[in-house]
Amino acid sequence: MGQQIAVQIHREPEWAEIRDCLTALGEHAIVRMIDGLPAFPEEIPEPGWRELRLGLNGGMVSLRREADQILCVAWGNADAALLQSWRACADAVAKAAG
């Protein structure tokens, strides 16, 4: 089981906006999967992606688009470092989405 933070969005942010907000928060984000398929580390997700799996400082976090929100998901075995990255990811999504 995982835990999630739902971020209400007013517009769909581009990956570059989310990445830049993560960088500003001190997180180094690497895209590991796009819509269930492995991604190259420097690959840029196409607009309209539904799910991203990100490697962050503390571990892996998933972003899932659902209607007017993006879910930030960390898995149940999350330690303090992963929870910090998870919260930073939710903050970055909120900032990028306005």
Q: Side chain identity at 96, as an amino acid letter?
A: A
Distance CA(19)–CA(21), nearest Å, equals 5
pTM above 0.85, yes or no: yes
Domain boundaries, the chain: 2-97
Residue 56 has what pLDDT?
96
Structure confidence by residue, pLDDT tens digits, 11-31: 889 999 999 999 999 999 999
* 3-state SS assignment for residue 10: coil
Query: pLDDT of 36-53, one tens digit each?
Result: 999 997 899 999 999 999
Q: Which of 74, 92, 82, 86 is nearest to 1 (CA)?
A: 74
**C-alpha pair distances (Å), 57 with each of 11, 67, 72, 80, 84:** 27, 28, 15, 11, 9
Rounded to an integer, the average pLDDT of 73-87 is: 89
Listed residue (34, 26, 30, 17) closest to 94, CA to CA:
17
Q: Which of 60, 28, 33, 61 is nearest to 49 (CA)?
A: 33
